[in-house]
Amino acid sequence: MTEKTILRALKGEVLPTPPIWMMRQAGRYLPEYRATRAQAGDFLSLCYNPELACEVTLQPIRRYGFDAAILFADILLIPQALGADLWFVTGEGPRLSTITSAEGLKALKGKDDIHTHLAPVYETVKRLSEALPRETTLIGFAGAPWTVATYMIAGQGTKDQGPAHLLKSEDRATFSALIDLITDATIEYLAMQIEAGAEVVKIFDSWAGSLKGADFDEFAVQPTIKIIKALKSRYPHIPVIAFPREAGAGYVGFAKKTGADCVAIDNSISAQWAAANVQKDGCVQGNLDPRHMVTGGEALVEATQEVVRAFKNGPHIFNLGHGITPDADPENVALMIETVRKG
């Protein structure tokens, strides 16, 4: 069998047509997803139901024929597995019990105690590895330690990650210990996804851009190095995609520093700049502005073509610069894919 296109790109091959998948491709913009989520009852119940989580992961593959499927789960399942309370408020997003002290940190479980809670996720991966078309790559994922920590400290998403920055400055020992715990748990979580059948894993650092200077190295780069090194020691042939979102100049050299096989980039930087400064080190994933999935039209076609042209001389996986939004038009997704594939 010819090797899957995404795996070829991740090995550094320059392909005539870039493989394509889309962050949050299983999600609220699809009517079939909304129907399945209603069947599950709520978001977390969907994440922990292997049959339904497998179904929503497969829906965009059936509809669009993406080159990869990404496990349907959430980055905050790790905090819950470590012992934090987690719930979702409709229209507002996640809420967690907060970790703001050494005492709170000590109350959490260890990295080896997460697997019973996360067993349904591993079962979903196993089912997907058996159900996906032969040509479709299965991607597992986790949140990066910094991003996960920001939610655990604040108890919710925040615009500036202020509570995490405050704990980092006022009680660096506790903050660093939390990062270490999440890092170790993430290694074990991703390893189990690989054991269950994931062919690639991705590390999402959605709030990496708010780390500056030495903090970016200590809390974005170093944990990624530790995770990738540990995974590569066990599974040397499993590629890792890293996404330090809004890292700006921090994207330069990120792959070499961390050992990532691919760096996913957001749309705050131009494809041309990324081709010159990031792609020179290997595969790049990205970076169409997700708003085009809402507005569509000729602007979508032109922007898609511009991204493909910018990265055509190096290994590239076409994707958005961030996740597709719930107000996106499914027909615009089809237009994007058609544009990429017809060249």
Neighbour count for residue 66 (Cβ, 10 Å): 21
Exactly one of 28, 34, 291, 341 is catalytic; name it. Answer: 28
| Tokens coding 172 | 């660096």
Catalytic residue list contains 28: yes
Is the separation of the CB atoms in 26 and 72 below 8 Å?
yes
Measured at the CA of 287, the angle between CA 65 and CA 90, to 5 degrees, comes to: 75
Exactly one of 67, 74, 205, 261 is catalytic; name it. Answer: 74
Contacts of 30 (CB under 8 A, 6+ apart): 59, 60, 63, 330
The dihedrals phi and psi of 262, each to the nearest 5 degrees, come to: -155, 145
Torsion from C-alpha of 167, 265, 248, 78, nearest 10 degrees: 10
What single-letter amino acid sits at 305? Answer: Q
Cis peptide leading into residue 287 (ω within 30°): yes
Catalytic residue list contains 74: yes
Is the separation of the CB atoms in 20 and 39 below 8 Å?
no
- The residue assigned the tokens 């990650």 is 161
- CA distance to 3, 78, 104, 119, 183, per residue, from 111 (Å): 34, 10, 16, 14, 9
Catalytic residue list contains 234: no
Catalytic residue list contains 24: yes
Closest by CA to 178, choosing from 213, 160, 202, 153, is: 153
Alpha helical stretches, state H, 132-267? 145-154, 162-170, 172-196, 214-216, 222-234, 254-258
Exactly one of 29, 48, 151, 189 is catalytic; name it. Answer: 151
Is the separation of the CB atoms in 235 and 255 below 8 Å?
no
Q: What are the catalytic residues?
A: 24, 28, 37, 74, 151
